[in-house]
Chain A
């Protein structure tokens, strides 16, 4: 299968990548990731309660949800499905939202990119599934890209080399 040139360009771009191996077959992980009754059981950090308002699993369809944080505050989030290849690949555009499903700025850091492109890949090996979520800012301004990446690069990559001492220092705080 020939990769689209945009996909190739996308893969060389800097991204935040989160990977986990689950002790479950791929079909099940896919279901847990794409069906509302399953998503409500796990989507969000510990102590968050997720309510699915809408989930349309088709290209252009919307997953709209609310999350109650441990401190009682409520926030809304939205994914728009861009590419669905069950059970191996899911491309979404994710964002914060208001109660009416409109795009919203990150309530905690306004210069965070408005939308992010997330590519999830599911691969199975002996009934274990590796799930990788790769996130890049979408249509971000230069300053939004900076907000997204500079912290990451200075805190992680940068410190890994010439910034070792600063890294050590931060660890003592």
Chain B
């Protein structure tokens, strides 16, 4: 139960971190490799403190990690939670897709039964 609660809290943090376009752009940039905060800030017309704020949200959501090197604390992607979130959305789709797989099989079965009944009734093949 505790595990489940933690997972959903984690997902909430992931989703709200992803809600912001700047943060998504930061993640996209980090996908090509780790980089410094000033390099990250470059393409955005934003102050360093504003970028730092975004990084903190991403870090709290577990989406990025900061290196320990004192001067140059590079940012890198920590994709675990991101994968959980995308897995979860996939799960929602999969719920329906799998139900439709079963419906497909079931409809085939029903039609087979129906054909047999008709054959029996008419005493000949359809």
Contact = CB atoms under 8 A, between A and B. Distances in A.
Q: Do A and B bind each other?
A: yes
Interface of A: 16, 18, 20, 22-24, 28-29, 32-33, 38, 41-46, 107-111, 131, 133, 143, 146-147, 150-152, 154-155, 158, 162-163, 165-166, 168-170, 173
B31 A166 contact: yes
Interface of B: 4, 7-8, 11-12, 14-16, 18-19, 24-25, 27-28, 31-32, 77, 79, 82-83, 85-86, 88-89, 92-108, 110-111
Contacts of A166: 27-28, 31
Contacts of A155: 85-86, 89
Given A41-B102, A146-B19, A170-B83, A154 B24 contact: yes
B30 to A, nearest CB: 8
Given A16-B93, A111-B15, A147-B15, A46 B102 contact: yes
**7 closest A-B pairs (Cβ-Cβ)?**
A45-B98, A42-B102, A166-B31, A24-B107, A42-B103, A20-B100, A169-B31
Given A28-B107, A109-B8, A151 B79 contact: no
B104 A28 contact: no
In this complex, which of A43, A109, A147 has the most chain B Cβ atoms within 10 angstroms of its Cβ? A109
Nearest to A108: B8
Contacts of A168: 31
18 contacts: A16-B93, A23-B108, A28-B107, A32-B106, A41-B106, A43-B99, A43-B102, A108-B88, A131-B100, A133-B96, A146-B19, A150-B15, A151-B85, A151-B86, A163-B28, A166-B28, A170-B83, A173-B79
A124 B81 CA distance: 42
A168 B79 CA distance: 12
Contact of B103 (A32, A143, A146): A32
B104 A20 contact: yes
Contact of B12 (A107, A109, A173): A109
Contact of B88 (A16, A107, A109, A110): A109
A150 B19 contact: yes
Contacts of A18: 93, 96-97, 100
B117 to A, nearest CB: 14
B12 A147 contact: yes
Given A16-B92, A28-B111, A44-B99, A165 B106 contact: no
Contact of A28 (B25, B27, B100, B110): B110
Contact of A169 (B11, B24, B79): B79
A158 B26 CA distance: 13
